Amino acid sequence: MSITFTGVTKSYPGSEIKAVDHVDLSIEDGEFIVILGPSGCGKTTLLKMVNRLFEPTAGTIAIDGTDITSLKVETLRRRIGYVIQQNGLFPHMSIEENIAVVPKLLGWDKERIRARVEELLDLVHLDQQVFRKRYPRQLSGGQQQRVGIARAMAADPAILLMDEPFGAIDAITRISLQDELLRIHKQLHKTIMFVTHDVEEAFKLADRIIIMQSGKVVQFASPGQIMAQPANDFVKQLVGVDDMQRRINVLKMRDLLPVQEGSGGPLHMGPDTVSVLHAAKDVLARFIETKAESLKVLDSKQRLITTMTLMEFMRKLGSMGAAHADDEAPKRTNHVI
Ligand code: ATP
């Protein structure tokens, strides 16, 4: 389902600050959207207005073109799964009972609930025999978060809102949960809005990233676009474009052009090499445009470096005349890609 924000503003009672300040956004059906920004910039407020845990002070939010205020809150929340950092599992209920909360509220019969619980435990890769009768306290943080995801998906919502769901999870488990979530997204095509202040997490997961600063959306674009064209210095700093740039400078053309050990010296690119590189430019441009999906299989660092390396490569080519060699580039060869 698509989600559209039009002029959405939120001020909390008694506060002069606009927690969310005139946000206009269009999220497509099935997109994985990450909301990224520093603490207090309005990420959670923006998210919670979608399932009406908070009401905007001004503006409208529409799901598939329908203003959410025209729906009953229960109807709306049934279409929207919600996962938070503290997973919110009921401690006195077994895993099975936790997952079944919403289906029970919806009056599903026992057999249907049982089948759904099994399906969901499979989906989040938890062994039913081991986990269904356990209680939350008998699970690790990562396992509890998987149950949190399963529970949010119980009534098959079209939209999943996730507020720093992996924030309290150790780094290694976090990576595997991110991978699981990408797999689930690929499988089920839910529209996901995912809050984080972790840049690497955002770049790994997102189709597009909403970058917020002081309640405003300062950029809404794909990870590749953000790295290539950060909207302003704040975005540049937040996503570490300069750090990436330094790494790229270290990598230079070295990783793009095969080199012979010990050839040393500055790279000299003759006109032939330059024209081959120019021919490659369009191929690389298409790669970035159309294969952004395939970058997802890389881990976030590899993906950033790959994207940035290609961007840098293209920028370099753009600034290089086909007729002359780049004297500043390190010399090695007449090698071609
Ligand atoms: P964090 O990453 O720390 O969770 P965030 O980006 O999610 O932050 P929000 O929680 O949306 O930010 O808060 C945005 C602004 O609104 C902040 O200035 C915050 O202090 C304020 N705020 C949030 N909740 C309330 C509230 N219930 N009452 C008053 N002000 C609030």
Residue 287: CB atoms within 10 Å: 15
Selection from 17-31, 70-84, 114-128 with the highest mean pLDDT: 17-31
Cα 3 to middle of ligand 1, angstroms:
22
| Residues 289/232, Cβ–Cβ less than 8 Å | no
Residue identifier of the C-alpha nearest atom 27 of ligand 1: 12
93-107, 132-146, 188-202, 304-318: which range is least confident on average? 304-318
Tens digits of residue pLDDT in 189-222: 899 999 998 888 998 899 999 999 999 999 999 9
Overall average pLDDT of the 157-170 stretch: 91
pLDDT for 252 beyond 50: no
Closest CA to 329 of 266, 262, 255, 263: 266
Q: How far is the CA of 48 from the centre of ligand 1 (A)?
A: 11
The confidence band for 176, taking pLDDT boundaries of 50, 70 and 90, is confident
Residue located via tokens 């006109």: 271
CA of 44 to the centre of ligand 1 (A): 7
Centre of ligand 1 to C-alpha 16, Å, is 13
Residue nearest ligand 1's atom 30 by CA: 12
Our answer on whether the CB atom of 38 is closer than 6 Å to any ligand 1 atom is: no
Q: How far is the CA of 11 from the centre of ligand 1 (A)?
A: 10
**HEC per residue, the chain:** CCEEEEEEEEECCCCCCEEEEEEEEEECCCCEEEEECCCCCCHHHHHHHHCCCCCCCEEEEEECCEEHHHCCHHHHHHCEEEEECCCCCCCCCCHHHHHCHHHHHCCCCHHHHHHHHHHHHHHCCCCHHHHCCCCHHHCCHHHHHHHHHHHHCCCCCCEEEEECCCCCCCHHHHHHHHHHHHHHHHHHCCEEEEEECCHHHHHHHCCEEEEEECCEEEEEECHHHHHHCCCCHHHHHHHCHHHHHHHHHHHHHHHCCCCCCCCCCCECCCHHHHHHHHHHHHHHHHHHHHCHHHHCCCCHHHHHHHHHHHHHHHHHHHHCCCCCCCCCCCECCCCCC
Mean local confidence (pLDDT), 114-142: 92
Tell me the average pLDDT across 281-297. Answer: 55
Q: Is the pLDDT of residue 265 over 50?
A: no
Mean pLDDT of all residues in 222-236: 88
How far away, in angstroms, is 169 Cα from ligand 1 center? Answer: 22
- Residue 278 in tokens: 């120019």
Nearest 10 degrees: Cα torsion 108, 110, 112, 113: 80
pLDDT at residue 306, rounded to an integer:
63
Q: State the pLDDT at residue 5.
A: 98
By alpha-carbon position, which residue is closest to atom 11 of ligand 1? 42
Which residue minimizes the CA distance to atom 29 of ligand 1?
12
Say yes or no to pLDDT of 254 above 50.
no
ipTM of the complex in this document:
0.97
Decide: 41 in ligand 1 pocket, CB within 6 A: yes
CA of 15 to the centre of ligand 1 (A): 11
What does the pLDDT average to over 235-239?
A: 88
Angle at 76 between CA 75 and CA 79, to 5 degrees: 95
pTM, to two decimals: 0.75
Whether ligand 1 lies within 6 angstroms of the CB of 17 is answered as: yes
Nearest to 162 by CA among 125, 200, 202, 127: 202
Q: How far apart are CA 7 and CA 181, in angstroms?
A: 30
How far apart are the C-alpha atoms of 91 and 71, rounded to whole Å?
A: 31
- Considering only CA atoms, which residue is closest to atom 26 of ligand 1? 12
Decide: 210 in ligand 1 pocket, CB within 6 A: no
- Determine the residue of 8, 11, 15 to mutate for testing ligand 1's pocket, defined as the one with the most ligand atoms within 8 A of the Cβ atom: 15
